[in-house]
Structure 1
Amino acid sequence: MGPATRRLTMADVATLAGVSKATVSRVLNGEPGVSAETRMRIKALVDELSYVVSPDAARLSRGRTGRVAVVMPQTTTWFYAAVLAGVLSVLRPEGFDALVYQVADDTESRRFFADLPAKRQVDAAIVVAFPVSDYERRQLDLLGVPVVIAGGALPDHPHVRVDDVAAARQAVTHLTLAGHERIAMINSAVPPDRPYAPPVDRLRGYRTALDDAGLRYDAGLVVELPWSATMGAEGMDRLLSADRPPTAVFAFSDEVAIGALRSLRRAGIAVPRQLSLVGIDDHPLAELSDLTTVRQPVELQGVHAARMALALLGGGSVADAHVTIPTHLVIRGTTAAP
C-alpha cells in the first residue's frame, strides 16, 4: 500500500503502527493518554506517509463542525465589517471558523432561510443587525443551535446592542442645549413586513429629547427614506427645500450625515455657522469630516456576541443574555449655537 495508491485514512495509519484508531486520533489531536514511545512512532509514521488530518473529520469526531454562521445583510460597509472583525477575534483563537452569509435582499433572504434547517453545517449562529421576519425567526429556531443577535434584539435569544433611544437622545440634547429649537431628523424607513428597531428607537429618542427641552414635535421636520448610499444627500435636499429650513439636523448614522454634508456644501451653507449636524456611530470618516457624533463600540458588539455563542456551546449559560453597551457624545466641528 503506497501513498500514491489511494487516500490514506486514520485506520490505515493505525494498522501500520499496530495500535488502535483511537490512539492515532489522540496523538494527532495532541491529547494525553499515549506513551512517549508510541507517540513518537505514530508521528514518525505520519510524517513518512505525509498523512494529513481532515479538519472536518476531526471536528465531527468531537461532535461539532467547528463553524459559526454569521448572517448579515452586507459585508463591505464599515459597521458590518467591524462587527465581523470582533466576532473573528474571538472565534479564531478558540479554533472556530466563521461561515459568513450575506442576505442582501428579499430574494436572497427567502432562499437562505428556506434552506437553512436542512443545511445544518454550524454549531451556532450570530445574526448581525438584520431585520428578521416571523418566518425567518422560526427557521432560525429549527436550526437547533444557539442563536445570538449582534446590533439588535430578537425574542428568546441572547443579544448585544446599544440603547438607540439613549444614543439619539444624547445627540439631540446636545443640539437643544446649544440653543437650537428647529431640529430635523433624517431617518431610515422601516418596511412594514420587516420590523427593525434602530430607526424606531432613534426616532423615539429624538422626540424624547425635544420633549425634555419643551420643544414641539413637528412631523414635517422628519424625513424617512429607504437605506441607500445617497439617502443623506437626498434627505438634506428635502429639508433645505422647506419654507422654513431647520437650524440643526440629526442624522440616523454618520454615513447619512456625511451624505447630508455633501448637499450642504453644494448649497453653499456653512456648517456649523448656518446649520449644525450630528450623527451616530463614530465612523472612521466622522473624524476626517470633523463630524459631531455619538460613538457606539461596534467591534465590541461582535466580541460580546461571539463570547456568548461560545459560552452556550460549552454547555454553560450566559450570565447576562441581554447586553447593552454604553454610547457617548463626541463633539467636533459640525455643531454650534444657532
Structure 2
Amino acid sequence: MPPGLRDVAARAGVSIKTVSNVVNGYVHVAPDTRARVQAAIDALGYVPNLAARQLRGGRSGVIALAVPELPAPYFAELAGLIVQAAERRRWTVLIDQTDGRADRERDLLAGLRRHAIDGLIFSPSALSGEEVVASGGPPAVLLGARAGPGAADHVAVDDRAAGADATRHLCELGRKRIAVIGVPDDSPRATAARRRLAGYRGALAETGLAGDPALEVGVVRFGRAEGAAAMVRLLDQPRPPDAVFCVNDLLALGALRTLHQRGIGVPRDVALIGFDDIEDGRFSTPTLSTVAPDTPRIAQLAVDLLAERLGEGRVAAGPPRELHVEHRLLLRESTVG
C-alpha cells in the first residue's frame, strides 16, 4: 500500500490534521513543524490523492493559468513563477495560451466550466474583467492592464507611472529628442502599451520638452522585428532621435540591432531603454536598461489572492482588491554606458 497521511504523521510526530494542513497549503503551521512534515513526505514518497481530496473538500487541487503569449519571455517567466508559487500549496497548474483573441478567451472560460478547476489566474487581452466574471467560471484573479479594477481581484503594474519613470531617466541624461517605439493600434490587447505611452507623454510635458508626433512610432506586434523596423523609420528622419523608450524589451532588442547595423553608438549617440527586464536584455551588447516590474511578487500575490478566494488563505476574502506591485529602473549600458 502506498504511504498515507497516517504514515506521514507517525514519522513526523504530529497529528494527521497537521499533515493535512501542510499538504493543503494552509499557512497556520509553524515553520519547523512544516519542515518536519515535508521531510517525512519526502522520505516516504507520499503523494496526495487528488481524487480523494476533491470528494472530501470539493477541491481538485488544480488551477488554470491563461496568458496571451507563452513564447513571449515575460509571460514565460511569469508562468514559471506562478507554477512555483502554486507548488508550495500543492496545487497543479494547467496553462493555456489565448493569443489575445476574444474568441479564444471566451472558449477558455466556457471550457473551464466543464472541468474540475478550483480557480483561474488570467491575463485577459480582449475581454474585460467584467466579461470574465460574468462567464460564470471558477473564482478568478486577473492580471495585467486590460483587466481593470472592481470585477475581481486584480494584480498589475502601474504602467503609466513606469513609462513616465523610463522617460524621465532619458530626460535626466540631457537627451532632447526622445522617441517612443510601440505606439499601439486600437486593439484591446494593447492597453498596457497605451498606458506606457501616456506615461511617456506626461513625462515629456513635465520636463518642458515638446512632443513630436514624428517621434512616436506605431507597431502592429510587439516583437524584435517590429522594433528593428521602427528604429529604421526613426533613423531615416531628417532629425533622428537621441534617445528611445520602447514599450517592451523585445522592441528594444530589435531597435538595438538596427542601431548596431547603422554604426550608431549606444548610448553615445542614442540612449535606449525597454520594459519588462527579460533575460535577453541582460546579455545583449550593450546590456539593456529597462523597467523591471516585480514579477515574482505578481506571481505570489496572484496565488495568495486565489487561495483566499478558495478559503485557504491567511484571511477571509472580502470585496475584490486592486493591487499594484512595485517597479524599478535597472540602468545598464544602453543608457549609462
TM-score higher than 0.5 here?
A: yes
The answer as to 2:205 corresponding to 1:211 is yes
How many residue pairs were aligned? 293
CA shift at 1:291, angstroms? 1.4
Between the aligned partners of 1:292 and 1:210, the Cα distance in structure 2 is 19
- 8 A Cα contact 2:69 2:100, kept in partner: no
Between the aligned partners of 1:121 and 1:239, the Cα distance in structure 2 is 51
The answer as to 2:161 corresponding to 1:142 is no
The answer as to 2:70 corresponding to 1:69 is no
Question: Aligned match of 2:94 in 93, 99, 102?
Answer: 99
Structure 2 residue ranges without an equivalent (≥5)? 10-14, 18-46
Partner of residue 184, structure 2: 189
In the TM superposition, 1:29-178 aligns within 5 A as 32=16, 55-104=50-99, 106=101, 109=104, 112-113=107-108, 115-116=110-111, 118-128=113-123, 130-134=124-128, 137-152=130-145, 153-155=147-149, 156-178=151-173
The answer as to 2:304 corresponding to 1:307 is yes
Partner of residue 32, structure 2: none
Equivalent position amino acid for 1:317 in 2: A
Question: Aligned match of 1:262 in 251, 257, 261?
Answer: 257
CA shift at 1:236, angstroms? 0.5
The answer as to 2:323 corresponding to 1:323 is yes
Residues 264-320 of structure 1 show CA distances to partners (whole Å, capped at 9, x for unaligned) of 111111111111111112222222221122221223211111111011111721698
CA shift at 1:154, angstroms? 3.0
Q: Which moved more, 1:80-89 or 1:305-314?
A: 80-89
- 8 A Cα contact 1:189 1:224, kept in partner: yes
Cα 1:257/1:318, change in 2 over 3 Å: farther
Aligned-CA RMSD value: 2.9
Partner of residue 333, structure 1: 333
The normalised TM-score by structure 1 is: 0.78
Cα 1:60/1:176, change in 2 over 3 Å: same
Whose radius of gyration is greater, 1 or 2? 1
Cα 1:143/1:111, change in 2 over 3 Å: closer
Cα 1:243/1:55, change in 2 over 3 Å: same
Residues 180-215 of structure 1 show CA distances to partners (whole Å, capped at 9, x for unaligned) of 1111000152444x2542111101100111011101
SS at the partner of 2:217? strand
- 8 A Cα contact 2:113 2:138, kept in partner: no
Equivalent position amino acid for 2:140 in 1: V
- 8 A Cα contact 1:221 1:246, kept in partner: yes
Q: Stretches of 4+ moved more than 4 A in 1?
A: 25-33
Between the aligned partners of 1:91 and 1:336, the Cα distance in structure 2 is 38
- 8 A Cα contact 1:150 1:302, kept in partner: no
The normalised TM-score by structure 2 is: 0.78
Question: Aligned match of 2:225 in 222, 230, 239?
Answer: 230
Between the aligned partners of 2:298 and 2:5, the Cα distance in structure 1 is 36
The alignment-based identity, stated in percent, is 29
Between the aligned partners of 1:133 and 1:119, the Cα distance in structure 2 is 20
Cα 1:111/1:319, change in 2 over 3 Å: closer
Structure 1 residue ranges without an equivalent (≥5)? 1-24, 34-51
Question: Aligned match of 1:295 in 292, 295, 301?
Answer: 292
CA shift at 1:133, angstroms? 2.1
Residues 154-199 of structure 1 show CA distances to partners (whole Å, capped at 9, x for unaligned) of 341111111111111111111111111111000152444x254211
